[in-house]
Amino acid sequence: MSVLTLDTASRWYGNVVAVNGISMSVRPGVTGLLGPNGAGKTTLIALMAGFLAPSAGTVTLDGEPVWRHTDAYRTIGLVPERELSFGYLTGRQFVRANAELHGLVEPGASTERALATVEMVEPAERRIGTYSKGMRQRVKLASALVHDPAVLLLDEPFNGVDPRQRLHLMTLLRQMGVEGRTVLFSSHILEEVEQVARQIEVVVSGRHAASGDFGQIRRLMTDRPVQYVVVCDDDRGLAGALIAEPSVVAVSLRRGGGVEVSVSDFGSFAVRLPVVARGHGIRILELTPTDESLESVFAYLVGG
């Protein structure tokens, strides 16, 4: 049972702050590191994996700093986002080389076990250069699992992986969490994270925006006011009718036509809108969310 701890860890490059005063403990089980692209997820994983020195604060594994601590890799398995450039090796040769570098007593047996875990035994004799993205991802995972690590760090492991393989990878991660390993993976897709992780850490613009059970995070994200534009045949009529609805927080008229509606509870709004429109004899032509992007969700979280 290993615990990775970040204590007000920051990392900056010149004037650019990549990670800003983040404190978190990554414990046994699966933790999802969620954030939009450019949020600092890769920097955080590099800090946790000992491939980046914190500019301030500390990053420790079971109390020991990980930076310049080679022995930490007996405990850590790392699946970087970086592509494998060992295209001239077969999958089996690559995983076996990893087993040998770990100084395992039976590198051959460990290689086969790791390949079997990720269902890559059959194509293991082919060169990595001929693999699909999903296969390369699984070989990377096999190479990180070959020494049976207590801590597994994965940077965007589902990127470019087809749905079937994604499901398999998700099952594997969940299983490793159940086995008591400390598993942390990063993603910019909420649905992906909540399918695998109970614990979610959200980072936005290098800051720790939220932390907790996926249910809490999901509520935070879905309970925020959401903006919609409704195009209909009577803007003023609809605006007047909607402002009386408890699920509606604000209404305004757009210059070019249409009604902007700020909704606090989308579930009730979705049910009430057609009822209200029909009651007032108004015809709805279009309903468009204006800020459904993940970035806007994250921006809301950071804003509080």
Q: Could you list the residues that contact other proteins (CB under 8 A)?
A: 37-43, 46, 49, 51-53, 68, 70-74, 76-78, 80-86, 88-89, 97-98, 100-103, 143-144, 155
Beta bridge partners of 10: 56
Shortest Cβ distance from residue 281 to other proteins (Å)?
51
* Least CB distance to other proteins at residue 163 (A): 24
Q: What's the min distance (Å) between Cβ of 201 and other proteins?
A: 17
Q: How far apart are CA 238 and CA 273, in angstroms?
A: 9
In the complex with other proteins, which residue's Cβ is closer, 54 or 134? 54
3-state secondary structure of 146: coil
**Spatial CB neighbours of 229, under 8 Å, sequence gap ≥ 6:** 254, 258, 259, 260, 261, 286, 287, 288, 290
Q: Is residue 117 classed as helix, strand or coil in its secondary structure?
A: helix
> Please, what is the minimum distance in Å from the beta carbon of residue 180 to other proteins?
21
227, two tokens:
């903006």
Distance CA 112, CA 121 (A): 7
- Contacts of residue 261, defined as CB under 8 A and 6 or more positions apart, other chains included, come to 227, 228, 229, 230, 242, 248, 250, 251, 269
Could you tell me the two tokens for 89? 């090796």
Amino acid at 279: G
Min dist CB 234 to other proteins, Å, is 47
Cβ nearer to other proteins, comparing 84 with 221: 84
Minimum CB separation of residue 249 from other proteins in Å reads: 34
Q: H/E element holding 76? A: strand 76-79
Three-state DSSP at 302 gives helix
CA dist., res. 121 & res. 107, Å (int) = 15
To other proteins, the closest distance from the beta carbon of 70 in angstroms equals: 6
Spatial distance between the Cα atoms of 14 and 234, rounded to a whole number of angstroms: 55
| Contact between residue 112 and residue 142 where contact means Cβ atoms under 8 Å apart | no
CB 27 within 8 A of CB 201: no
Q: Which two tokens stand for residue 259?
A: 């009604």
Residue 46 C-beta: closest distance to other proteins, Å: 4
Closest approach, Cβ 55 to other proteins, in A, equals 12
Query: Are residues 282 and 191 in contact, defined by beta-carbon separation less than 8 angstroms?
Result: no
